[in-house]
Amino acid sequence: MLDESPRFKDAVDKMVEHTQLSSWESVQLSRRLGRPGAMTFINLICDSFMELHGDRFYGDDPAMVGGIGLVDGQAVTFIGNRKGANLRENVRYNYGMSNPEGYRKALRLARQAEKFGRPIVCFIDTPGAYPGLGSEERGIGEAIAQNLKAFSTLKTPILVFIIGEGGSGGALGIGVGDKLYMLEHAVYSVITPEGFASILLRDPSKAAEAAEAMKMTAHHLREFGVIHDIIEEGSAEETAACIKAIIVRDLAVLCSKPHTHLVRYRIRKIRGIGEVSGIAKTWWKPLLGVFGKTESLS
C-alpha cells in the first residue's frame, strides 16, 4: 500500500485555498509525484485483487496494470496505466507510458472479461503511449487502433475514470467505454500543453497559455459532453470511496441491460462527438441492427 495521500492532499489544499485553479495548475496537479494512481485506487476499491500479466505475443508491460478484482463481491476486470508513486517506480513503470504489449494485454483482458461476463473498469493516467523505437517496430499505432475498434463493440459494460493525465491516443487506447468520469484535477487532451505550445504557439515556454487554450480540464470536458461527471478529490481513501460508489451504482444499471443495447448506445454516443456544419445524423442508424443479429448467431 502506498502512503502518498496525506502529503498530496496538503498540496492540493494549498493550491485550492484561494481561488479556482487555472488549467495549468490542474496540469501540474495531474502530474504531481505522489498523486494516487491506478494501483492505489484498485487496492482501496477491491476486497481482493489479482494481477494478470502479459499480452501472449511479446511480453508484459509494467506500465499497464490489469487483473481481476472483487468489488463488494462482484468480479470486475481492472485495466489501468501505472506510473508508480516515487521516482524509482516511475522509472520502472516508464512514467506510465505503454508499449504495444500494454495495449495488447489490455485487449486480451478485456476480451476475457467479455467472455466471462465481467464488467470492465479502466483508470487512465498517462502522458501518452511510449514514443520509442521498439514501440514503433511492434506497431503501437496498430495496437491502439485495435483497442479503439474492439472496445467500441465489447459486449460488457465499460467504465472509464481519468485519474491523472489523460494524454492523447495513449489514454484513448483504454478510454472507450459506456461512461467516462474525471477526477476534478485530472486533464485530458490530444497533445501535451508543451507540445501544443511548441507546435502551434511556436514557443515551448508558453505551456500555461496553451493549457488554457486547449480546454483540457474536467470542467471543460463536462461542458463539451465528453465526460459524464466530475469526481471531487479528497484523500486517496475519500476519492476511492467516491469512485467505488460510482462503480457500484453504474454497474447495477449497466449489467442489467442486454449487451446489444449497451453496444448500440455506446456506438451512438461515440458517433455523436464532433462539431461540424450541417450533417444528417440518422441515416446510418438501421446499421445498429447488426449487433442484435450477430449476437443471436453466436
Helix, strand or coil for residue 83? Answer: coil
Sign of the C-alpha dihedral computed for residues 126, 151, 52 and 74 taken in this order: positive
291 contacts another protein (rule: CB under 8 A): yes
3-class SS at 170? helix
Asked if 261 interacts with another protein (CB under 8 A), we say no
Does residue 200 interact with another protein by CB under 8 A?
yes
161 binds another protein per the rule CB under 8 A: no
Binding another protein by CB under 8 A: which of 64, 123, 196, 247?
Answer: 196
Least distance from C-beta 195 to another protein, angstroms?
A: 8
Nearest to 39 by CA among 176, 207, 164, 218: 164
Is 146 a binding residue for another protein by CB under 8 A? The answer is yes
Shortest approach of another protein to residue 212 CB, angstroms? 11
CB 189 within 8 Å of CB 24:
no
Indicate left, alpha or beta for 46 from its phi (over 0: left) and psi (-120 to 50: alpha): beta
Tell me: does residue 36 bind another protein (CB under 8 A).
no
Asked if residue 216 binds another protein (CB under 8 A), the reply is: yes
**Shortest gap between Cβ of 91 and another protein (angstroms)?**
14
Among 226, 245, 252, 253, binds another protein (CB under 8 A): 226
Helices of type H across 86-139: 87-92, 100-115, 133-137
**Shortest approach of another protein to residue 56 CB, angstroms?**
16
Q: What angle do CA 102, 96, 218 make, to 5 degrees?
A: 110
Q: Is 199 in the site for another protein (CB under 8 A)?
A: yes
164 binds another protein (CB under 8 A): no
Binding flag, residue 91, another protein (CB under 8 A):
no
Does the footprint of another protein cover residue 80 (CB under 8 A)? no
CA–CA distance, 180 with 162 (Å, rounded to integer): 8
Q: Contact, 126 vs 97, CB < 8 A? A: yes
**With binding defined as CB under 8 A, does residue 116 bind another protein?**
no
Binding status of residue 64 toward another protein by CB under 8 A: no
CB closer to another protein out of 17 and 275: 275
For 50-78, letters b (16+ CB in 10 Å) and e give eeeeebeeebebbbbbbbbbebeeeebbb
State residue 270 phi and psi, 5-degree precision: -60, -40
Residue whose C-alpha cell reads 501535451 in the numeric block = 192
Distance linking the first and last C-alpha atoms of the chain: 43
Verify binding: residue 252, another protein, rule CB under 8 A: no
Residue number, 131 or 258, with CB nearest to another protein: 131
The strand pair at 179-183 and 64-71 is best described as unpaired
Q: CB of 86: closest distance to another protein in angstroms?
A: 22
Does 156 contact another protein by CB under 8 A? no
Based on the shown chain and the rule CB under 8 A, indicate whether residue 157 belongs to the binding site for another protein: no
- Name the residues that contact another protein, by CB under 8 A: 129-133, 135-142, 144-146, 148-150, 152-153, 168-169, 172-173, 175-176, 188-191, 196, 199-200, 213-216, 221, 224, 226, 266-267, 270-271, 273-279, 283-284, 286-291, 293-294
